[in-house]
Structure 1
Amino acid sequence: MIRWDRGWRLYLRVALALGITLVFVFPVYWLAMISVKSPDEIYAYPPVWFPSEFRFSSYVTLFRDGDAWAVWNSLITAGVSTVLAMAIGTTAAYSIVRFRTGGENLAIWIISQRMIPPICVAFPIFLLFVSWQWIDTRFGLILLYTAFNVPYVTWMMRGYIQDIPLELEHSALVDGLSRWAVLRKVVLPMARAGLFATAVFTFIFAWNDFLFALVLTKSEAVTYTVKVTGYFGSQSTFWSKIGAMSMLGVLPMMFVVATMQRFIVRGMSLGAVKG
């Protein structure tokens, strides 16, 4: 009887997990199908769940017209800003944990900066970028994303570094390593799971940004989140282009998460939420 109950519970959990997975995967599937359907199939009722023929003309059009360049802009701005934020934030976290830089309240103050609603600073940043001629430049977006993500990286890496035994660093210092060498050869390898998990979420934050990209770009540095909104019109909506651009924007995220999945799971299970 006990085995029977456990079997049913296992089946129910698996069924529930599959149901939840289908709910979250279905929008991605539907976008993928829209991107390869014919116009008649897109507007058909009842809906056509699977196209009779795969048409990749929308993707060809995006690359031919240069619209796909927006995905490359997103990759550059999100990737470079993630590297910079990780470098600055990890160093700051190490300084806060090991040297008590700023006292007990500096870490709280740093993460509080991340809680500021972006809409509150969008207009002042726009005026600043206009005066410095950074509008519609990748450099401006990279600098902005780095500034907004450094507090998050600092807070997260602070928790991971706190879990590393201090004795390991003392042993490395006795062996003649400098502080920078200890950070590079001892701390970072020990906090590798947390490092990759934090980097993935930092990249996602920058990749999904819409507000700043909308306000601070025009054409040259426009990202895919802004570009995809240009296919919605008052008189017509280009659903095939929307589906194609959305898939081009989703694929890099799927690749990053699939590649770093084990680090994300391990990183989230570590002590990064410690105060």
Structure 2
Amino acid sequence: MSAVETKPLLQRPGTRLAIRYAIAIVLTVIFVFPIYWLFMISFKTPAEIFAFPPKWYASKLQFGNYVGLFKDGDAVSVLNSLILAGTSTVIAMVLGTMAAYSLVRFKTGGENLAVWIISQRMVPPIAIIFPVFLLYVFFGWVDTYHGLIILYTAFNLPYVIWMMRGYIEDIPLELEESALVDGWTRWQVLWRVVFPMARTGLFATAVFTFVFAWNDFIFALVLTRTEVITYTVQVTHYFGGQSNFWAKIAAMSVLGTLPVFVAVAFMQRYLVRGISMGAVKG
């Protein structure tokens, strides 16, 4: 009898590999099922949504749930979120990268400034939203694009600075010194050397910064009314005291998920490489 045949069943390589695949498939189904269910509800009729036992798929796709969002103007909230999150992410990435470069190369503020900066990101939004609301009322910034863009940028800047600080530390200083010897200015070094070499970290940090701004609820709830309402606030309008519009809730949630899904899908390779580069350092 061979050595392979004498091994217990669970110790055989093929059996262990099959168990791993089975566990991976089960976990994938568990995590993907809520997404599938949300997507399917957005295409169901009210009768199918409340059917018992549950209907696992729509008998006929009801695109009217999405058409209603565009007819009523509710889908504009997704565009508002895209403008606010996208603009604030770009501004935060540019300013944050320059600030991180200053911390790394010029030791601005000493060794403890970076820790103080990231500590500002740990402040709960609920602790500052009402003073910010009073300030915005004074300046007339409530329900404006620039008001929320400034707030999102300020709130995400500490995260960007902290993350980019780690990526910039991994760039060899000799490359920058060579560029300076060749007559380049610091701005040229930043744009032509630092940014290209840290592009993986830039993309990874930008995706997470975008998601943070995209998922914001408390700032948008307090500081928007009708003109700049975001999709996270718009979804709450479909919950009522006597009934909930589940089809609209699902359809709006799907629309709100698509931009993040697309961003992560296109930048997946940068995310994997960026996270594995060890950006978070003390």
TM-score range, shorter chain: over 0.9
Per the TM alignment, residue 18 of structure 1 is displaced from its structure 2 partner at its CA by: 2.3
Q: 2: distance between equivalents of 1:87 and 1:267?
A: 18
Q: 2: distance between equivalents of 1:81 and 1:206?
A: 8
Per the TM alignment, residue 177 of structure 1 is displaced from its structure 2 partner at its CA by: 1.1
Check if 1:174 corresponds to 2:181.
Answer: yes
* Counterpart for residue 106 of structure 1: 113
CA contact (8 A) 1:77 1:141 kept: yes
Map Cα deviations across residues 120-158 of structure 1 (whole Å, 9 max, x no partner): 001100101110111111111110000000000000000
**Which runs of structure 2 are paired with 1:48-67 in the superposition (5 Å)?**
48-67=55-74
Check if 1:151 corresponds to 2:162.
Answer: no
- 1:250 pairs with 257, 269, 275, which one? 257
**Which runs of structure 2 are paired with 1:179-190 in the superposition (5 Å)?**
179-190=186-197
* Counterpart for residue 264 of structure 1: 271
Check if 1:231 corresponds to 2:260.
Answer: no
Q: 1: distance between equivalents of 2:26 and 2:261?
A: 20
* Counterpart for residue 206 of structure 2: 199
Q: 2: distance between equivalents of 1:5 and 1:144?
A: 57
Q: 1: distance between equivalents of 2:57 and 2:280?
A: 44
Q: 2: distance between equivalents of 1:112 and 1:100?
A: 18
* Counterpart for residue 117 of structure 1: 124
Per the TM alignment, residue 176 of structure 1 is displaced from its structure 2 partner at its CA by: 1.4
How many pairs were matched up? 275
Check if 1:80 corresponds to 2:87.
Answer: yes
Q: 2: distance between equivalents of 1:164 and 1:6?
A: 42
Deviates more, 1:175-184 or 1:223-232: 175-184
Which secondary structure does the structure 2 equivalent of 1:36 belong to?
coil
Q: Which amino acid aligns with 1:156?
A: M
Check if 1:163 corresponds to 2:170.
Answer: yes
Check if 1:33 corresponds to 2:40.
Answer: yes
CA contact (8 A) 1:163 1:271 kept: no
Q: 1: distance between equivalents of 2:70 and 2:83?
A: 17
TM-score in terms of structure 2 length: 0.95
- 2:222 pairs with 167, 192, 215, which one? 215
Q: Is there any run of 5+ residues in structure 1 with no aligned partner, and where?
A: none
Q: Which amino acid aligns with 1:43?
A: F
Q: 1: distance between equivalents of 2:104 and 2:66?
A: 49
Task: Describe the shift of the 1:176–1:228 C-alpha distance in structure 2 as closer, same or farther (beyond 3 A).
Answer: same
Q: 2: distance between equivalents of 1:171 and 1:113?
A: 36
CA contact (8 A) 1:193 1:263 kept: yes
Per the TM alignment, residue 11 of structure 1 is displaced from its structure 2 partner at its CA by: 2.4
Q: Which amino acid aligns with 1:178?
A: T
Per the TM alignment, residue 271 of structure 1 is displaced from its structure 2 partner at its CA by: 2.2
Deviates more, 1:30-39 or 1:199-208: 30-39
Q: 1: distance between equivalents of 2:221 and 2:257?
A: 19
Q: 2: distance between equivalents of 1:204 and 1:46?
A: 36
Q: 1: distance between equivalents of 2:129 and 2:219?
A: 7
- 1:11 pairs with 18, 22, 27, which one? 18
Per the TM alignment, residue 173 of structure 1 is displaced from its structure 2 partner at its CA by: 1.0
Per the TM alignment, residue 8 of structure 1 is displaced from its structure 2 partner at its CA by: 2.5
Larger radius of gyration: 2
Per the TM alignment, residue 274 of structure 1 is displaced from its structure 2 partner at its CA by: 1.4
Q: 2: distance between equivalents of 1:18 and 1:171?
A: 51
Check if 1:91 corresponds to 2:92.
Answer: no
Check if 1:23 corresponds to 2:30.
Answer: yes
Q: Which amino acid aligns with 1:221?
A: V
After TM superposition, the runs of 4+ consecutive aligned structure 1 residues lying more than 3 A away are 1-4
